[in-house]
Amino acid sequence: EIARKPENREKNKRTIIITSDRALAVLLQREGCLLMKPYNWFAHCVMVLAPDLIRYEELTG
């Protein structure tokens, strides 16, 4: 739902999604997210690497 908001479209282009869930991957790719498919993950696992989260870690780390 968050990825579909127009104000997040630019953030989506800098967000990397790692998932083996094909349906989720297709949906997020349509919203402009970058996708990477892992080989050893279960379908219910998802990792999101968003610029805002990485930046937060740099500031607090």
Give CA–CA dist 15/13, Å, rounded.
Answer: 6
pLDDT value at position 49? 61
The values of phi and psi at residue 2, to 5°, are -65, -40
Q: What are phi and psi of 49, to 5 degrees?
A: -110, 95
Q: What pLDDT was estimated at residue 52? A: 61
Residue 9 in contact with residue 43, Cβ under 8 Å? no
Mind listing the pLDDT tens digit for each residue in 38-59? 555 554 555 666 666 555 455 5
SS (H, E, C) 16-41: EEEECCHHHHHHHHHCCCEEECCCCC
List pLDDT tens digits, range 9-34.
Answer: 777 777 777 777 778 878 888 888 87
- Tell me what pLDDT residue 48 has: 63
> What was the pLDDT predicted at 3?
66
Q: Which domain holds residue 51?
A: 2-60
Q: How many domains does the chain have?
A: 1
